[in-house]
Amino acid sequence: ASKLEISMPDVVEVEVGDTARIECNFYIPENASYTYIDWFYVDRSNRQVRLYHITASGVLEDDTEYKKRLSLGEDKALSISAVTVQDARTFVCQVGAGSYGVGENSTELSVYKVPKIPEIEPNSGGVSVHSNSIPEIAKCLSKNSFPPPNITWHKNGVQLQAQEKDVNIQSTLTRESSGLYTVSSTLYAPVTRDDRLSSYHCTVHYWLRGHSRALESRRVKVNIFYPAEHLKLQVVPSSALVKEGDNVTLVCESDGNPQPVFTFFKKNLDEWQDVSSLAEPQSGVLTLHDVDKSSSGTYKCQSLDLDDMSQIEEAVDLVVNYIEGVDVKMEPSSTLQEGQNVTLSCDAHSPVNLTYQWRDENGKKLKEGKKLFLNNLSFESSNTYSCRVTAPSVPGLEQSKKLFLAVEGKPRIVAISSPLYVRQDEVINLTCKAIAFPRPTLQWSINGTAHEYMDNQHVASNLTVRVSHDLLQAGAKCRVSNKLGVSEKHIQLVDQKSTAESQGVIIVAIIVAILVVAVLGAVIYFLHKKGKIPCGRAGKQDITKPEARKDKIVVEVKSDKVSEEAGLLQGANGERRAAADQVGQSAGHRQ
């Protein structure tokens, strides 16, 4: 190149608050040196104001508004710190090169501030589909941006265009003292019932380094007011399961917003009776407490929309399941006697199928079905029988009725304390227990302190009395009677003293018998040892034949031990002699 050339970037972008660096690169032919370098900025009057004058001998900084924020690099690049929006202007670099003349170039400093995420607020009062004017949907606000941004509106993700379908967008731009901009935008648009599900948001668009950027707000929904189109009236719990005594709730719901005014009616013959006084105010809930058969019927809910005064109504049938007229009969119905048979029958009325079950007074299950057959009745058959009626299709629906069955008969004594071993002058308790119906009277033949009580179906009496000589001899009688007959039993009293003496005699007799048996056993044993009693093979010999030799066996019973030992030794010697004789006889026969 044969001339002075200066190159600078066309634009330098910097965010507010950062430092801007503007370079000035130049070329002087033959590597000649510059004479001076001057930096300028262009003010609003399009006049150049010098910032620096740079020569080989030094740097001169002019007194301008940029003083204290300027600096020069080693390559003579200009740096501006703490950039503000007012710094968005043109900066000029001028180079003097002596005989090569003077050259200059410029850079546009572009200052920006990224806006904050936009803030959106839906209409807090709600929007009606019957609004006479185009209603306000929401407002959007974007703060602290530079240069001024642009705001767009979106419904369900689709951008809305102003003037389309009565859509109106009003925006306001405000420049703050800092030089930054605040943009506000309001969306006006008509709504329909379907917009209750719609979402809205706004987007702020701005430029950065030659590219368009965007920030979106949060999604919001608008409270849409619309009249009801459908009404639903339902019974809780399900009408098929309602039974007498339940609390029933009728819930009326509409698909309008806000909920309309609800009114409840019950049909009586051909007229509708207002029962809204039983409902919770403005709730659409009617509660019926402790329902019965009379609560059944047709109920109607009527809604009134205060916006357009439209009305809708819906009806539902309430069926209260019940069991009534539970009746228990006995055949025959006359008084029952022991040994007879009886049939118990049970019946009831209900709009649903019923099952029947019989139980006794202890809750024991006896039989399924309407009838219970009892054969060969006894006093023990007297009981309270219960017929339990249930509706399997309606859980918890049941009724029961009881019947007391009494079996009549003359008294029968079932337990008495006889015989009873006593001592004279001893205080004793006599017990007598009987069963009968009607309840019998229990009497004693002697005087004493009587305590009468019931033990299950039995009548029992305890008589406390002191044992006298006469009582020992005569004993006592328990007499039980009712209108059907009398039964009595005698209680025998046995003197324990006489019993003890008799027992002593018996014990002595037993001991003597044992001793006799023992002596007899000893005699048999000794005879066997002497061979007098045949046993085994020896038993085949003729015991009538005379023996070659006989020894006498003398048995003596003495009280001193010496005599006992002598007798035992004699017996032992005799045994040895007898054994020797038998050996000798056997040898003689073989010869």
Task: Give the DSSP per-residue string, 558-586.
Answer: -SSHHHHHHHHHHHHHHHHHHHHHHHHHH
Q: Do 434 and 487 lie in a common domain?
A: yes
Question: Same structural domain for residues 306 and 343?
Answer: no
pLDDT at 157: 94
Residue 541 resides in a domain: no
- Domain-located, residue 159: yes
162 versus 570: which is more confidently predicted? 162
Which of 165, 192, 225 lies at the terminal end of a domain, its last residue? 225
CA–CA gap between residue 386 and residue 346 (Å, rounded): 9
- pLDDT exceeds cutoff 60 at 567: no
Residue 533, pLDDT > 80, answer: no
pLDDT tens-place string over residues 105-160: 999 999 999 999 999 999 999 999 988 889 999 999 999 898 899 999 999 999 99
User: Are both 186 and 165 inside the same structural domain?
Assistant: yes
Residue 440 CB partners (closer than 8 Å, separation 6+): 411, 434, 459, 480, 481, 482
Q: Mark whether 221 and 251 lie in a shared domain.
A: no
Specify whether 310 is located in the same domain as 328: no
Of the chain, the percentage scoring pLDDT greater than 70 comes to 87
Split at pLDDT 50, 70, 90, the class of 86 is very high
Q: How many domains does the chain have?
A: 5
Identify the band that residue 298 occupies on the pLDDT scale cut at 50, 70 and 90. very high
DSSP one-letter code for 321: B
Residues 311 and 328 in one domain: no
pLDDT of residue 367: 93
pLDDT band at 519 (very low <50, low <70, confident <90, very high): confident
β pairing state of 493-495 and 420-422: parallel
Question: Cβ(13)–Cβ(209) under 8 Å?
Answer: yes
- The whole-angstrom separation of Cα 427 and Cα 219 is 101
Q: What is the pLDDT at residue 1?
A: 55
Are 106 and 161 in the same domain?
no
Instruction: Reply yes or no on whether the pLDDT at 192 is more than 90.
Output: yes
Please tell me the least confidently modeled range out of 183-192, 277-286, 437-446.
Answer: 277-286
Domain span holding position 54: 5-112
The position carrying tokens 């740097």 is: 59
Any domain includes 539:
no
Place of tokens 């003097």: 96
Q: How many CB atoms lie within 10 A of CB 372?
A: 23
* Domain CATH for 120: 2.60.40.10
In this prediction, residue 334 carries a pLDDT of: 79
Average pLDDT of the chain, as a whole number:
85
Whole-number Å distance between alpha carbons of 48 and 91: 9
| Cα distance between residue 401 and residue 188, in whole Å | 73
DSSP 406-474: -EEEEEEEEEE--SEEE-TT-EEEEEEEEEEESPPEEEESS-SEEEEEEETTEEEEEEEEE--HHHHHH
pLDDT reported for residue 378: 85
| Domain assignment present for 47 | yes
Strand spans (E) along 4-68: 5-7, 11-15, 20-22, 25-27, 36-42, 48-55, 58-61
Note whether residue 78 is domain-resident: yes
pLDDT band at 526 (very low <50, low <70, confident <90, very high): confident
- The answer to whether the beta carbons of residues 82 and 111 sit under 8 Å apart is no
Is there a domain that residue 564 lies in?
A: no
The mean pLDDT value for 512-538 works out to: 72
Residue 124 DSSP label: T
Sequence-ordered list of residues with C-beta below 8 angstroms from that of 552, at least 6 positions apart, any chain:
none
**pLDDT at residue 326 above 80?**
yes
**Side-chain-side CA neighbours of residue 342 (13 Å):** 24
Of 58, 88, 112, the position where a domain reaches its end is 112
H or E stretch including 499? helix 496-530
Q: Give tens-digit pLDDT for 495-507.
A: 887 555 555 556 7
Q: What pLDDT shows up at residue 587? A: 37
Summary count for the chain: helices (H), strands (E): 3, 46
Q: Are 203 and 119 in contact (CB under 8 A)?
A: no
Quick check: is 553 in a domain? no
In this predicted structure, what is the pLDDT of residue 223? 95
Q: CA 255 → CA 222, 478, 513, distances in Å? A: 17, 86, 111
Give residues with Cβ within 8 angstroms of 324, minimum separation 6: 293, 348, 349, 350, 399
Q: How far apart are CA 208 and CA 213, in angstroms?
A: 7
Q: What percentage of the chain carries pLDDT values higher than 90?
A: 59
Residue bearing tokens 């030794």: 569
Looking at the structure, tell me whether residues 312 and 343 fall in a common domain.
no
- Domain assignment present for residue 252? The answer is yes
Instruction: Examine the domain organization and report whether 400 and 443 are in the same domain.
Output: no
Q: Is the pLDDT of residue 580 over 60?
A: no
Residues 102 and 152 in one domain: no
In terms of C-beta density within 10 A (0-12 exposed, 13-18 middle, 19 or more buried), how is residue 495 classed? middle
Phi and psi (nearest 5°) for 576?
Answer: -65, -35
Cα dihedral 527→528→529→530 (10° resolution): 50
What are the pLDDT digits (tens) for 358-393?
Answer: 999 889 999 999 999 999 988 888 889 999 999 999
C-alpha count within 13 angstroms, C-beta hemisphere, residue 442: 26
* 147: preceding bond cis by omega (within 30 degrees): yes
Q: Which residues of 24-39 are buried (b: 16+ CB within 10 A; e: fewer)?
A: bebebeeeeebebbbb
Which one has a higher pLDDT value, 354 or 270? 354
